[in-house]
């Protein structure tokens, strides 16, 4: 989003921060003993969400960030090299 200034941030430090945050999250998850994955919370907009649903959505959100990083890498190569990327395949 342009309004958040993501394009102006240092790419490498942002990726490093994302990976650090993911590592911290995984470390926290590993500290949980016998979590109650079926325990639910009433989200004000989405309705009932279990801990399992929250975790799966968290993982999906992480995958969306990975997709953004991959797209950024592809577009960077496309715009900075001037090379035809047809051999690489369709985006």
Interval 3-17 mean pLDDT: 83
Three-state SS letters, the chain? CHHHCHHHCCHHHHHHHHHHHHHHHHHHHHHCCCCCCCCEEEECCCEEEEHHHHHHHHHHHHHHHHHHHHHHHHHHHHHHHCCCCHHHCCC
The residues facing 47 across adjacent strands are 43
Q: What is the mean pLDDT of residues 27-48?
A: 96
Please indicate, yes or no, whether the overall pTM of this predicted structure exceeds 0.75. Answer: no
Tell me, rounded to whole angstroms, the distance of Cα 4 from its chain centroid: 16
Alpha carbons 88 and 37: distance in angstroms, whole number: 42
How much is the pLDDT for 12? 87
Confidence bin at 81 (pLDDT 50/70/90):
very high
């Amino acid at each position: 989003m342009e309004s958040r200034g993501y394009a102006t941030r240092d790419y490498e430090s942002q990726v490093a921060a994302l990976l650090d945050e993911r590592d911290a999250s995984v470390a926290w998850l590993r500290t949980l003993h016998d979590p109650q994955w079926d325990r639910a919370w009433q989200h004000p907009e989405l309705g009932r969400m279990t801990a399992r649903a929250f975790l799966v959505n968290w993982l999906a959100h992480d995958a969306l960030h990975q997709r953004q990083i991959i797209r950024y890498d592809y577009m960077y190569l496309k715009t900075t090299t001037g090379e035809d990327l047809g051999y690489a395949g369709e985006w």
